Structure 1
Amino acid sequence: MQPNYHVTRLPLYAMVVGAAIAALFIGATPGQANGEPPAVSIAGCADVEVIFARGTFEAPGVGKVGEAFVAALRQRPVDRTVSVHAVNYPASFQFDRAVDGIRDVSNRLQDLAANCPSTEIIVGGYSQGAAVSGYVTSDTVPPGYALTALPPDVAERVTAVVLFGKPSPRILRLLHHDAPPVEIGPAFTGRTIDLCAPRDPVCEPDGLDRGAHSAYTVNGMTEEAADFVVNRLRNR
Protein backbone atom coordinates (compact mmCIF):
# COMPACT_ATOMS: atom_id res chain seq x y z
CA MET A 1 0.00 0.00 0.00
CA GLN A 2 1.27 3.49 -0.80
CA PRO A 3 1.76 5.75 2.24
CA ASN A 4 -1.08 8.19 2.85
CA TYR A 5 -0.27 11.76 3.76
CA HIS A 6 -2.08 14.64 5.34
CA VAL A 7 -1.44 18.34 4.93
CA THR A 8 0.33 20.11 7.79
CA ARG A 9 -0.17 23.63 6.39
CA LEU A 10 -3.05 25.16 4.44
CA PRO A 11 -3.30 28.65 2.89
CA LEU A 12 -5.13 31.49 4.68
CA TYR A 13 -8.57 32.53 3.48
CA ALA A 14 -8.59 35.43 1.03
CA MET A 15 -10.28 38.17 3.02
CA VAL A 16 -11.89 39.77 -0.02
CA VAL A 17 -14.10 36.72 -0.60
CA GLY A 18 -14.74 35.81 3.04
CA ALA A 19 -18.22 37.28 3.20
CA ALA A 20 -19.34 35.61 -0.02
CA ILE A 21 -18.03 32.22 1.05
CA ALA A 22 -19.65 32.65 4.47
CA ALA A 23 -23.06 32.76 2.85
CA LEU A 24 -22.38 29.39 1.26
CA PHE A 25 -20.84 27.55 4.19
CA ILE A 26 -23.09 28.74 6.99
CA GLY A 27 -26.31 27.70 5.25
CA ALA A 28 -29.05 27.01 7.78
CA THR A 29 -27.40 24.48 10.05
CA PRO A 30 -26.10 26.24 13.15
CA GLY A 31 -24.50 23.71 15.47
CA GLN A 32 -26.39 22.54 18.56
CA ALA A 33 -29.26 24.97 17.95
CA ASN A 34 -31.58 22.68 19.89
CA GLY A 35 -29.51 23.03 23.04
CA GLU A 36 -28.43 19.39 23.11
CA PRO A 37 -24.88 18.69 24.30
CA PRO A 38 -22.31 17.76 21.65
CA ALA A 39 -21.58 14.11 21.01
CA VAL A 40 -18.60 12.89 23.00
CA SER A 41 -16.42 9.83 23.00
CA ILE A 42 -17.43 6.84 25.07
CA ALA A 43 -14.74 5.58 27.42
CA GLY A 44 -13.06 2.35 26.43
CA CYS A 45 -13.08 0.56 23.10
CA ALA A 46 -16.38 0.48 21.26
CA ASP A 47 -17.17 -1.91 18.44
CA VAL A 48 -17.39 1.06 16.07
CA GLU A 49 -16.10 4.62 16.43
CA VAL A 50 -17.16 7.56 14.28
CA ILE A 51 -14.57 10.33 13.94
CA PHE A 52 -16.51 13.30 12.52
CA ALA A 53 -15.55 16.90 11.70
CA ARG A 54 -18.31 19.52 11.85
CA GLY A 55 -18.94 22.30 9.35
CA THR A 56 -17.95 25.95 9.46
CA PHE A 57 -19.26 27.93 12.45
CA GLU A 58 -20.98 24.94 14.04
CA ALA A 59 -20.50 24.68 17.79
CA PRO A 60 -18.02 22.15 19.20
CA GLY A 61 -19.27 18.61 18.70
CA VAL A 62 -20.05 16.80 15.47
CA GLY A 63 -22.64 19.30 14.22
CA LYS A 64 -26.12 18.72 12.85
CA VAL A 65 -25.09 16.50 9.93
CA GLY A 66 -22.76 14.45 12.12
CA GLU A 67 -25.50 13.91 14.69
CA ALA A 68 -27.98 12.85 12.01
CA PHE A 69 -25.48 10.41 10.52
CA VAL A 70 -24.59 8.85 13.89
CA ALA A 71 -28.27 8.54 14.78
CA ALA A 72 -28.97 6.80 11.47
CA LEU A 73 -26.06 4.43 12.03
CA ARG A 74 -27.23 3.53 15.53
CA GLN A 75 -30.73 2.81 14.23
CA ARG A 76 -29.44 0.16 11.84
CA PRO A 77 -29.91 -3.48 12.92
CA VAL A 78 -26.29 -3.87 13.97
CA ASP A 79 -25.72 -5.19 17.49
CA ARG A 80 -22.65 -3.08 18.23
CA THR A 81 -21.62 -0.24 20.47
CA VAL A 82 -20.89 3.03 18.64
CA SER A 83 -18.69 5.74 20.13
CA VAL A 84 -18.12 9.20 18.68
CA HIS A 85 -15.04 11.41 18.51
CA ALA A 86 -15.82 15.03 17.63
CA VAL A 87 -12.84 16.42 15.71
CA ASN A 88 -11.19 19.23 17.66
CA TYR A 89 -10.61 22.22 15.39
CA PRO A 90 -11.98 25.79 15.14
CA ALA A 91 -14.25 25.26 12.09
CA SER A 92 -13.83 28.95 11.32
CA PHE A 93 -12.82 31.01 8.30
CA GLN A 94 -9.24 30.90 9.45
CA PHE A 95 -8.83 28.00 7.06
CA ASP A 96 -5.18 27.41 7.87
CA ARG A 97 -6.44 26.19 11.26
CA ALA A 98 -8.14 23.29 9.50
CA VAL A 99 -4.76 21.64 9.98
CA ASP A 100 -5.70 21.33 13.66
CA GLY A 101 -8.54 19.05 12.62
CA ILE A 102 -6.35 17.04 10.26
CA ARG A 103 -3.87 16.50 13.06
CA ASP A 104 -6.64 15.56 15.52
CA VAL A 105 -8.10 12.96 13.14
CA SER A 106 -4.66 11.49 12.53
CA ASN A 107 -3.87 11.33 16.24
CA ARG A 108 -7.20 9.70 17.05
CA LEU A 109 -6.69 7.12 14.30
CA GLN A 110 -3.28 6.24 15.67
CA ASP A 111 -4.60 6.02 19.24
CA LEU A 112 -7.38 3.66 18.18
CA ALA A 113 -5.01 1.56 16.08
CA ALA A 114 -2.68 1.17 19.06
CA ASN A 115 -5.23 0.71 21.85
CA CYS A 116 -8.43 -0.61 20.31
CA PRO A 117 -7.41 -3.20 17.70
CA SER A 118 -10.96 -4.54 17.25
CA THR A 119 -12.70 -1.18 16.84
CA GLU A 120 -13.94 -0.44 13.33
CA ILE A 121 -13.27 3.18 12.45
CA ILE A 122 -15.49 5.51 10.43
CA VAL A 123 -14.04 8.89 9.39
CA GLY A 124 -16.44 11.59 8.25
CA GLY A 125 -17.13 15.27 7.90
CA TYR A 126 -19.47 17.94 6.58
CA SER A 127 -18.53 21.02 4.53
CA GLN A 128 -15.19 22.31 5.85
CA GLY A 129 -15.14 19.17 7.99
CA ALA A 130 -15.39 17.07 4.84
CA ALA A 131 -12.28 18.83 3.57
CA VAL A 132 -10.51 18.06 6.86
CA SER A 133 -11.38 14.36 6.71
CA GLY A 134 -10.78 14.18 2.97
CA TYR A 135 -7.27 15.61 3.35
CA VAL A 136 -6.48 12.91 5.90
CA THR A 137 -7.03 10.25 3.22
CA SER A 138 -5.05 12.05 0.52
CA ASP A 139 -1.55 11.03 -0.48
CA THR A 140 -0.92 13.76 -3.05
CA VAL A 141 -0.85 17.53 -2.52
CA PRO A 142 0.80 20.35 -4.50
CA PRO A 143 4.56 20.90 -4.06
CA GLY A 144 5.57 23.22 -1.25
CA TYR A 145 3.36 21.72 1.45
CA ALA A 146 4.87 19.92 4.42
CA LEU A 147 3.63 16.34 4.61
CA THR A 148 3.35 13.81 7.38
CA ALA A 149 2.72 10.18 6.55
CA LEU A 150 -0.30 8.35 7.89
CA PRO A 151 1.17 4.90 8.53
CA PRO A 152 -0.23 2.24 6.17
CA ASP A 153 -1.22 -0.01 9.06
CA VAL A 154 -3.28 2.86 10.52
CA ALA A 155 -4.88 3.69 7.16
CA GLU A 156 -5.91 0.06 6.81
CA ARG A 157 -7.91 0.31 10.04
CA VAL A 158 -10.41 2.74 8.51
CA THR A 159 -13.55 0.83 7.56
CA ALA A 160 -15.29 3.70 5.75
CA VAL A 161 -15.09 7.42 4.99
CA VAL A 162 -18.30 9.46 4.71
CA LEU A 163 -18.20 13.00 3.30
CA PHE A 164 -21.08 15.47 2.98
CA GLY A 165 -20.84 18.66 0.91
CA LYS A 166 -17.07 18.47 0.37
CA PRO A 167 -15.78 21.82 -1.01
CA SER A 168 -15.11 21.73 -4.75
CA PRO A 169 -11.84 22.89 -6.33
CA ARG A 170 -13.69 26.02 -7.50
CA ILE A 171 -14.61 26.96 -3.93
CA LEU A 172 -11.09 26.21 -2.73
CA ARG A 173 -9.64 28.43 -5.47
CA LEU A 174 -11.90 31.25 -4.33
CA LEU A 175 -10.53 30.83 -0.85
CA HIS A 176 -6.92 30.82 -2.04
CA HIS A 177 -5.43 30.33 -5.48
CA ASP A 178 -3.00 27.76 -4.07
CA ALA A 179 -5.46 25.78 -1.95
CA PRO A 180 -4.98 22.07 -2.73
CA PRO A 181 -7.97 20.14 -4.03
CA VAL A 182 -9.36 17.48 -1.75
CA GLU A 183 -8.40 14.25 -3.48
CA ILE A 184 -9.30 10.94 -1.88
CA GLY A 185 -6.24 8.69 -1.78
CA PRO A 186 -6.32 5.53 -3.93
CA ALA A 187 -6.26 3.33 -0.84
CA PHE A 188 -9.54 4.90 0.32
CA THR A 189 -11.55 5.23 -2.90
CA GLY A 190 -13.39 1.94 -2.43
CA ARG A 191 -14.11 2.79 1.20
CA THR A 192 -15.42 6.33 0.63
CA ILE A 193 -18.89 7.71 -0.02
CA ASP A 194 -18.67 11.33 -1.19
CA LEU A 195 -22.15 12.87 -1.11
CA CYS A 196 -23.11 16.17 -2.71
CA ALA A 197 -26.71 17.37 -2.65
CA PRO A 198 -28.02 18.46 -6.07
CA ARG A 199 -27.27 22.15 -6.72
CA ASP A 200 -25.20 22.52 -3.54
CA PRO A 201 -22.89 25.42 -4.48
CA VAL A 202 -20.14 24.27 -2.10
CA CYS A 203 -19.58 20.88 -3.72
CA GLU A 204 -21.26 21.13 -7.14
CA PRO A 205 -19.38 23.40 -9.60
CA ASP A 206 -22.56 24.87 -11.09
CA GLY A 207 -24.72 24.66 -7.98
CA LEU A 208 -26.85 27.70 -7.22
CA ASP A 209 -29.08 26.58 -4.34
CA ARG A 210 -27.63 27.77 -1.03
CA GLY A 211 -30.32 25.86 0.83
CA ALA A 212 -29.08 22.59 -0.62
CA HIS A 213 -25.91 22.84 1.46
CA SER A 214 -27.96 22.69 4.65
CA ALA A 215 -30.30 19.90 3.50
CA TYR A 216 -28.18 16.84 4.33
CA THR A 217 -30.09 16.12 7.54
CA VAL A 218 -33.40 15.87 5.65
CA ASN A 219 -32.57 14.75 2.10
CA GLY A 220 -31.86 11.10 2.93
CA MET A 221 -28.11 11.31 2.47
CA THR A 222 -27.24 10.62 6.12
CA GLU A 223 -29.34 7.45 5.81
CA GLU A 224 -27.55 6.56 2.58
CA ALA A 225 -24.19 7.02 4.28
CA ALA A 226 -25.26 4.86 7.23
CA ASP A 227 -26.27 2.06 4.85
CA PHE A 228 -22.90 2.34 3.12
CA VAL A 229 -21.10 1.98 6.45
CA VAL A 230 -23.19 -0.96 7.65
CA ASN A 231 -22.48 -2.82 4.42
CA ARG A 232 -18.75 -2.42 5.06
CA LEU A 233 -18.69 -3.55 8.67
CA ARG A 234 -17.08 -6.89 9.38
CA ASN A 235 -19.40 -9.73 10.39
CA ARG A 236 -22.47 -7.53 9.99
Structure 2
Amino acid sequence: MAKRRVGANRAAGRRTRRLVAVGISAVVVAAGAVVTPQAFAGTASGSSATSSGSFFQRLRERFAQNDGQAGGGNAAGCSDVELVFARGTGEPQGLGIVGRPLAQALGGELSGRTVGSFAVVYDAASNQRSAGPGATNMTEHIEQVAQSCPETQFVIGGYSQGATVTDIAIGIRGVGTQGKAIPADLRSRVAAVVVYGNPLGIRRQTIAQAAPEFAGKAIEFCNNGDPVCGGGNNFAAHLAYNRNGTVGRGAEFAAGKIG
Protein backbone atom coordinates (compact mmCIF):
# COMPACT_ATOMS: atom_id res chain seq x y z
CA MET A 1 0.00 0.00 0.00
CA ALA A 2 2.80 2.43 0.90
CA LYS A 3 4.51 1.82 -2.46
CA ARG A 4 1.25 2.51 -4.34
CA ARG A 5 0.79 5.78 -2.44
CA VAL A 6 4.37 6.87 -3.25
CA GLY A 7 3.87 6.08 -6.94
CA ALA A 8 0.59 8.01 -7.01
CA ASN A 9 2.24 11.01 -5.37
CA ARG A 10 5.05 10.99 -7.92
CA ALA A 11 2.59 10.83 -10.83
CA ALA A 12 0.61 13.74 -9.35
CA GLY A 13 3.82 15.73 -9.03
CA ARG A 14 4.69 15.14 -12.67
CA ARG A 15 1.20 16.30 -13.74
CA THR A 16 1.54 19.45 -11.64
CA ARG A 17 4.93 20.27 -13.19
CA ARG A 18 3.47 19.83 -16.68
CA LEU A 19 0.59 22.21 -15.89
CA VAL A 20 3.01 24.79 -14.51
CA ALA A 21 5.13 24.54 -17.68
CA VAL A 22 2.08 25.07 -19.86
CA GLY A 23 1.10 28.12 -17.79
CA ILE A 24 4.56 29.62 -18.12
CA SER A 25 4.50 29.09 -21.90
CA ALA A 26 1.17 30.90 -22.13
CA VAL A 27 2.55 33.85 -20.17
CA VAL A 28 5.60 34.01 -22.45
CA VAL A 29 3.40 34.11 -25.56
CA ALA A 30 1.29 36.89 -24.09
CA ALA A 31 4.35 38.85 -23.05
CA GLY A 32 5.76 38.48 -26.57
CA ALA A 33 3.46 41.27 -27.71
CA VAL A 34 5.65 43.76 -25.86
CA VAL A 35 8.02 45.40 -28.33
CA THR A 36 11.15 47.12 -27.09
CA PRO A 37 13.49 49.37 -29.08
CA GLN A 38 16.15 46.66 -28.80
CA ALA A 39 13.89 44.22 -30.63
CA PHE A 40 14.36 46.27 -33.79
CA ALA A 41 18.12 46.69 -33.62
CA GLY A 42 20.11 45.12 -36.45
CA THR A 43 17.25 43.21 -38.03
CA ALA A 44 17.83 43.88 -41.72
CA SER A 45 17.43 40.74 -43.81
CA GLY A 46 15.73 39.42 -46.93
CA SER A 47 12.05 38.62 -46.84
CA SER A 48 9.43 36.35 -48.33
CA ALA A 49 5.74 35.98 -47.50
CA THR A 50 5.12 33.15 -45.07
CA SER A 51 2.99 30.42 -46.68
CA SER A 52 2.37 32.80 -49.58
CA GLY A 53 2.52 30.07 -52.23
CA SER A 54 -0.56 28.25 -50.96
CA PHE A 55 -2.43 31.51 -50.44
CA PHE A 56 -1.74 32.81 -53.94
CA GLN A 57 -2.78 29.47 -55.39
CA ARG A 58 -6.13 29.83 -53.64
CA LEU A 59 -6.42 33.45 -54.74
CA ARG A 60 -5.76 32.57 -58.37
CA GLU A 61 -8.43 29.89 -58.21
CA ARG A 62 -10.86 32.32 -56.63
CA PHE A 63 -10.49 34.85 -59.43
CA ALA A 64 -9.75 32.51 -62.35
CA GLN A 65 -13.27 32.90 -63.72
CA ASN A 66 -12.82 36.68 -63.80
CA ASP A 67 -9.72 36.84 -66.01
CA GLY A 68 -9.96 39.43 -68.72
CA GLN A 69 -12.76 41.38 -67.03
CA ALA A 70 -10.60 44.00 -65.31
CA GLY A 71 -11.18 46.67 -67.93
CA GLY A 72 -14.18 48.30 -66.27
CA GLY A 73 -16.08 47.85 -63.03
CA ASN A 74 -15.51 45.20 -60.42
CA ALA A 75 -15.52 41.57 -61.51
CA ALA A 76 -17.99 39.13 -59.99
CA GLY A 77 -16.94 37.99 -56.53
CA CYS A 78 -15.02 41.18 -55.73
CA SER A 79 -15.92 43.25 -52.69
CA ASP A 80 -16.29 47.02 -52.77
CA VAL A 81 -13.95 47.34 -49.79
CA GLU A 82 -11.41 44.92 -48.35
CA LEU A 83 -9.81 45.15 -44.92
CA VAL A 84 -6.24 43.79 -44.96
CA PHE A 85 -5.13 43.41 -41.36
CA ALA A 86 -2.07 42.04 -39.54
CA ARG A 87 -2.53 40.54 -36.06
CA GLY A 88 -0.27 41.10 -33.07
CA THR A 89 2.67 39.11 -31.75
CA GLY A 90 1.86 35.63 -30.49
CA GLU A 91 -1.69 35.53 -31.85
CA PRO A 92 -2.73 32.54 -33.96
CA GLN A 93 -3.16 33.05 -37.70
CA GLY A 94 -6.21 35.15 -38.43
CA LEU A 95 -7.41 38.73 -37.98
CA GLY A 96 -6.67 38.64 -34.25
CA ILE A 97 -8.31 40.21 -31.22
CA VAL A 98 -8.44 43.67 -32.81
CA GLY A 99 -8.85 42.80 -36.49
CA ARG A 100 -11.95 40.65 -36.02
CA PRO A 101 -14.09 43.31 -34.36
CA LEU A 102 -12.69 45.94 -36.72
CA ALA A 103 -13.88 43.93 -39.73
CA GLN A 104 -17.34 43.62 -38.19
CA ALA A 105 -17.50 47.30 -37.30
CA LEU A 106 -16.36 48.35 -40.77
CA GLY A 107 -19.06 46.20 -42.34
CA GLY A 108 -21.60 47.92 -40.10
CA GLU A 109 -20.37 51.36 -41.10
CA LEU A 110 -20.56 50.47 -44.81
CA SER A 111 -23.86 48.61 -44.79
CA GLY A 112 -24.60 49.64 -48.37
CA ARG A 113 -21.39 48.08 -49.71
CA THR A 114 -19.79 44.67 -49.73
CA VAL A 115 -16.88 44.45 -47.30
CA GLY A 116 -14.35 41.62 -47.33
CA SER A 117 -11.33 40.93 -45.13
CA PHE A 118 -7.95 39.27 -45.38
CA ALA A 119 -5.70 38.22 -42.49
CA VAL A 120 -2.05 38.83 -43.35
CA VAL A 121 -0.13 35.55 -43.38
CA TYR A 122 3.00 35.86 -41.26
CA ASP A 123 4.60 34.30 -38.20
CA ALA A 124 3.93 37.13 -35.70
CA ALA A 125 7.07 35.89 -33.95
CA SER A 126 8.14 37.26 -30.58
CA ASN A 127 11.54 38.37 -31.92
CA GLN A 128 9.72 40.77 -34.29
CA ARG A 129 11.70 39.57 -37.32
CA SER A 130 8.54 38.43 -39.08
CA ALA A 131 7.27 41.98 -39.69
CA GLY A 132 9.10 42.33 -43.03
CA PRO A 133 7.75 39.08 -44.50
CA GLY A 134 4.34 40.11 -43.21
CA ALA A 135 4.57 43.39 -45.12
CA THR A 136 5.49 41.46 -48.25
CA ASN A 137 2.42 39.25 -47.84
CA MET A 138 0.20 42.29 -47.29
CA THR A 139 1.58 44.01 -50.39
CA GLU A 140 1.40 40.98 -52.65
CA HIS A 141 -2.17 40.28 -51.58
CA ILE A 142 -3.16 43.85 -52.45
CA GLU A 143 -1.42 43.53 -55.82
CA GLN A 144 -3.26 40.32 -56.63
CA VAL A 145 -6.69 41.59 -55.61
CA ALA A 146 -6.18 44.97 -57.28
CA GLN A 147 -5.45 43.26 -60.59
CA SER A 148 -8.60 41.16 -60.49
CA CYS A 149 -10.85 43.71 -58.79
CA PRO A 150 -10.23 47.15 -60.33
CA GLU A 151 -12.82 48.95 -58.19
CA THR A 152 -11.99 47.44 -54.79
CA GLN A 153 -10.69 49.93 -52.24
CA PHE A 154 -8.46 48.80 -49.40
CA VAL A 155 -8.39 49.55 -45.70
CA ILE A 156 -5.12 48.31 -44.26
CA GLY A 157 -3.84 48.11 -40.72
CA GLY A 158 -2.50 46.10 -37.86
CA TYR A 159 -2.11 45.71 -34.14
CA SER A 160 1.22 45.75 -32.27
CA GLN A 161 3.75 43.97 -34.54
CA GLY A 162 0.99 44.02 -37.14
CA ALA A 163 1.21 47.81 -37.08
CA THR A 164 4.90 47.46 -37.94
CA VAL A 165 3.89 45.20 -40.83
CA THR A 166 1.66 48.04 -42.03
CA ASP A 167 4.41 50.64 -41.55
CA ILE A 168 6.78 48.67 -43.77
CA ALA A 169 4.06 48.09 -46.39
CA ILE A 170 3.47 51.84 -46.74
CA GLY A 171 7.17 52.47 -47.22
CA ILE A 172 8.48 53.41 -43.75
CA ARG A 173 12.04 52.18 -43.43
CA GLY A 174 14.11 51.13 -40.48
CA VAL A 175 11.24 49.91 -38.32
CA GLY A 176 11.83 46.17 -38.66
CA THR A 177 13.03 43.54 -41.09
CA GLN A 178 12.96 44.40 -44.77
CA GLY A 179 9.77 43.81 -46.70
CA LYS A 180 8.02 44.74 -49.92
CA ALA A 181 6.16 48.05 -49.95
CA ILE A 182 2.93 48.76 -51.81
CA PRO A 183 3.84 50.06 -55.31
CA ALA A 184 3.30 53.77 -55.95
CA ASP A 185 0.65 53.13 -58.60
CA LEU A 186 -1.53 51.21 -56.11
CA ARG A 187 -1.29 53.55 -53.14
CA SER A 188 -4.30 55.53 -54.26
CA ARG A 189 -6.33 52.33 -53.87
CA VAL A 190 -5.55 52.37 -50.13
CA ALA A 191 -8.37 54.48 -48.76
CA ALA A 192 -7.42 54.28 -45.08
CA VAL A 193 -4.74 53.04 -42.68
CA VAL A 194 -5.81 52.05 -39.15
CA VAL A 195 -3.24 50.87 -36.61
CA TYR A 196 -3.26 50.08 -32.89
CA GLY A 197 -0.32 50.08 -30.49
CA ASN A 198 2.13 51.04 -33.23
CA PRO A 199 5.78 50.51 -32.15
CA LEU A 200 6.66 53.45 -34.39
CA GLY A 201 5.67 55.57 -31.39
CA ILE A 202 8.70 54.33 -29.47
CA ARG A 203 10.74 56.39 -31.94
CA ARG A 204 8.47 59.36 -31.22
CA GLN A 205 7.17 59.24 -34.77
CA THR A 206 3.76 58.96 -36.38
CA ILE A 207 2.69 57.67 -39.78
CA ALA A 208 1.91 61.25 -40.79
CA GLN A 209 5.55 62.17 -40.12
CA ALA A 210 7.23 59.05 -41.47
CA ALA A 211 4.96 58.51 -44.51
CA PRO A 212 3.48 61.91 -45.45
CA GLU A 213 1.73 60.42 -48.49
CA PHE A 214 -0.60 58.60 -46.08
CA ALA A 215 -0.95 61.41 -43.54
CA GLY A 216 -4.54 62.24 -44.45
CA LYS A 217 -5.53 58.58 -44.66
CA ALA A 218 -4.06 57.27 -41.41
CA ILE A 219 -5.30 57.05 -37.85
CA GLU A 220 -3.22 55.63 -35.00
CA PHE A 221 -4.47 54.58 -31.57
CA CYS A 222 -2.09 54.46 -28.60
CA ASN A 223 -3.60 54.01 -25.14
CA ASN A 224 -2.21 55.93 -22.19
CA GLY A 225 0.47 53.85 -20.53
CA ASP A 226 0.93 51.47 -23.47
CA PRO A 227 4.62 50.45 -23.41
CA VAL A 228 4.61 49.39 -27.07
CA CYS A 229 3.63 52.69 -28.65
CA GLY A 230 3.88 55.24 -25.87
CA GLY A 231 6.75 54.18 -23.66
CA GLY A 232 4.50 53.57 -20.66
CA ASN A 233 4.62 50.72 -18.19
CA ASN A 234 1.05 49.44 -18.23
CA PHE A 235 0.91 46.33 -20.39
CA ALA A 236 -2.83 46.01 -19.75
CA ALA A 237 -3.25 49.19 -21.79
CA HIS A 238 -1.76 47.42 -24.79
CA LEU A 239 -4.38 44.69 -24.52
CA ALA A 240 -7.40 47.00 -24.23
CA TYR A 241 -7.96 48.16 -27.82
CA ASN A 242 -10.65 45.59 -28.55
CA ARG A 243 -12.83 46.84 -25.70
CA ASN A 244 -12.21 50.56 -25.19
CA GLY A 245 -14.09 51.98 -28.17
CA THR A 246 -11.11 52.55 -30.46
CA VAL A 247 -12.16 49.73 -32.80
CA GLY A 248 -15.42 51.53 -33.53
CA ARG A 249 -13.62 54.84 -33.98
CA GLY A 250 -11.17 53.23 -36.39
CA ALA A 251 -14.00 51.74 -38.45
CA GLU A 252 -15.81 55.07 -38.54
CA PHE A 253 -12.66 56.86 -39.69
CA ALA A 254 -11.98 54.30 -42.42
CA ALA A 255 -15.56 54.35 -43.66
CA GLY A 256 -15.34 58.12 -44.00
CA LYS A 257 -12.36 57.73 -46.33
CA ILE A 258 -14.09 55.37 -48.75
CA GLY A 259 -14.79 57.16 -52.01
Is 2:132–2:178's contact at 8 Å kept on the other side of the alignment? no
TM-score when scaled to structure 2? 0.66
Residue correspondences, number: 193
Q: Once the 2 structures are TM-superposed, how far is the Cα of residue 97 of structure 1 from its aligned partner? A: 2.2
Stretch of structure 1 that moved more, 85-94 or 183-192: 183-192
1:127-186: CA deviations, max 9, x gaps? Answer: 0001101111125449xx8675632111111000000001146489xxxxxxx9976411
> Which is richer in helix?
2
- Closer/same/farther in 2, CA of residues 146 and 100 from structure 1, 3 Å limit: closer
Alignment of 1:90 onto 2:123: yes
Deviation at 1:24, TM superposition (A): 6.5
> Aligned partners of 1:147, 1:165: CA distance in 2, in Å?
20
Q: Which residue matches 2:221?
A: 195
Q: Structure 2 matches for 1:173-184, cutoff 5 A?
A: 184=210
Other structure's SS at 2:129 match: helix
Give the equivalent residue in structure 2 for 1:55: 88
**2:212 pairs with 157, 163, 186, which one?**
186
Higher relative contact order (CA 8 A, sep 6+): 1
Instruction: Say if 1:74 and 1:82, in contact at 8 Å, map to a contact too.
Output: yes
Is the partner of 1:25 in helix, strand or coil?
A: coil
* Seq. identity, %: 36
* 2:51 counterpart of 1:25: no
2:220 partner amino acid: D
In the alignment, the residues of structure 2 paired with residue 45 and residue 164 of structure 1 have an alpha-carbon distance, to the nearest angstrom, of 27
Cα distance change, pair 169–69 in 1 and its aligned pair in 2 (3 A):
closer
Match for residue 156 of structure 1? Answer: 188
Partner of 2:252: 227
Match of 1:46 in 2: 79
The 1:146/1:164 distance shift into structure 2, 3 A limit, reads closer
Higher mean Cα deviation, 149-158 or 46-55? 149-158
- Aligned equivalents of 2:181 and 2:169: distance in 1? 10
The residue aligned with 2:199 is: 167
**CA, structure 1 residues 181+193, in 2 after alignment: closer, same or farther (shift >3 Å)?**
closer
TM-score (norm 1): 0.72
Structure 2 residue aligned with 1:209: 234
Report what 2:171 is aligned to.
138
Larger radius of gyration: 2
Which 5+ residue runs of structure 2 have no aligned equivalent?
Answer: 1-26, 35-58, 63-76
Q: Please give the alpha-carbon distance, in whole angstroms, between the structure 1 residues aligned to 2:95 and 2:178.
A: 27
Residue pair 1:54, 1:66 contacting (<8 A) in 2 also: yes
CA contact (8 A) 2:82 2:153 kept: yes
The residue identity in structure 2 corresponding to 1:61 is: G
